[in-house]
């Protein structure tokens, strides 16, 4: 006699479909997240390269013009002065450039005075450094000695290169060429182009990180040589502001600018 157990054992069993394999997307960390490393570019100087003068401008620092107050309680005019000095020293150290400073030490020259110095020089380009202030800063991070509260607005990190695309054709072409070379070099080194929207103030260029000025900013519109403004980072993004306290960040940034200038000058002929 067949037992109930043996009957069950002989009953055909329907195949069971395997459970779908769920693969979670792994997103690699991106600058300025902890653990990300910047990659200094390889700088190749072509034979016969002639040293050039470049004007490095520390943004703000004019009378009544101190700039933003960042999440690390550093004034923009102070950050740009240190960043511009490091960049100028690196340019000088290459032996391929002579860096002219538009602002140094405790001097507070007006923008008109800076322009006059640029026009009297033999500079082939002007690079002005800033930090940006983006997002809705609503979380306090500290207090300055003067009692000002410092705020942060995370999640909008990244650099931008601002350029004026109005004016004589040759000058505009040279400006855009310089801005694009800089943006590509910075992105290639690992710096992240900002992916936001400036609204009516600037229009996005075809190269990520480059923005075309619609405000007619003085230092983008007035110099007779190609000029750009680099918004190095979002000063309200606490993580990115802290990364800009690292010497390696300034070192890779400076090397990227050097590589971009050499590439741009090669395009100019």
Please give the Cα distance from 149 to 44 (Å, whole number). Answer: 45
Domain ranges of the chain: 50-268
Q: What is the chain's mean pLDDT, rounded? A: 92
Q: Quick: pLDDT tens for 22-62.
A: 556 656 788 999 889 999 999 999 999 999 999 999 999 99
Q: Strands of 52-58's sheet, edge to edge?
A: 97-101, 52-58, 123-132, 227-234, 160-163, 210-213, 202-204
Q: What is the pLDDT of residue 177?
A: 98
Q: Quick: pLDDT tens for 56-70.
A: 999 999 999 999 999
Instruction: Tell me whether strands 97-101 and 139-143 are parallel, antiparallel or unpaired.
Output: unpaired
Please give the Cα distance from 141 to 150 (Å, whole number). Answer: 5
3.40.50.300, 3.40.47.10, 3.40.630.40, 3.40.50.2300: which CATH number matches 50-268? 3.40.630.40
Q: Quick: pLDDT tens for 192-226.
A: 999 999 999 999 999 999 999 999 999 999 999 99
Average pLDDT, integer, range 117-141: 96
Q: What is the pLDDT of residue 268?
A: 87
Q: What is the pLDDT of residue 107?
A: 94
Confidence of residue 9 (pLDDT cuts 50, 70, 90): very low
- The pair phi, psi for residue 94, each rounded to 5°, is -70, -25
CB distance 87 to 150 below 8 Å: no
Burial class (CB in 10 A: 0-12, 13-18, 19+), 138: exposed
Q: What is the pLDDT of residue 12?
A: 53
pTM above 0.85, yes or no: yes
Asked if pLDDT for residue 257 goes beyond 60, the answer is yes
Confidence of residue 20 (pLDDT cuts 50, 70, 90): low
């Amino acid at each position: 006699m067949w037992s109930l157990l043996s009957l069950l054992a002989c009953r055909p069993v329907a195949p069971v479909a395997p459970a779908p394999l769920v693969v979670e997307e792994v997103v690699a960390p991106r600058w300025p997240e902890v653990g990300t490393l910047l990659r200094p570019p390889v700088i190749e100087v072509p034979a016969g390269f002639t040293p050039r003068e470049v004007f490095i401008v520390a943004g703000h620092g004019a009378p009544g013009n101190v700039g933003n107050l960042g999440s690390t309680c550093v004034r923009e005019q102070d950050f740009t002065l240190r960043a511009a000095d490091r960049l100028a020293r690196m340019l000088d150290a290459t032996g391929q450039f002579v860096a002219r400073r538009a602002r140094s030490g405790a001097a507070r020259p007006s923008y008109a005075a800076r322009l006059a110095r640029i026009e009297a020089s033999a500079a082939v380009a002007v690079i002005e450094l800033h930090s940006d202030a983006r997002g809705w800063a609503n979380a306090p991070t500290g207090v300055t000695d003067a009692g000002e509260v410092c705020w942060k607005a995370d999640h909008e990190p990244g650099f931008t290169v601002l350029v004026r695309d109005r004016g004589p054709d040759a000058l505009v072409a040279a400006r855009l060429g310089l801005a694009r070379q800089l943006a590509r070099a910075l992105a290639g080194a690992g710096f992240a182009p900002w992916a936001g929207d400036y609204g009516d103030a600037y229009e996005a260029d075809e190269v990520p990180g480059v923005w075309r000025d619609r405000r007619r900013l003085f230092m983008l519109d007035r110099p007779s040589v190609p000029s750009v403004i680099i918004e190095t980072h979002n000063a309200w993004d606490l993580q990115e502001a802290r990364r800009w306290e690292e010497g390696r960040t300034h070192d890779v940034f400076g090397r990227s600018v050097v590589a971009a200038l050499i590439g741009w000058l090669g395009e100019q002929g």
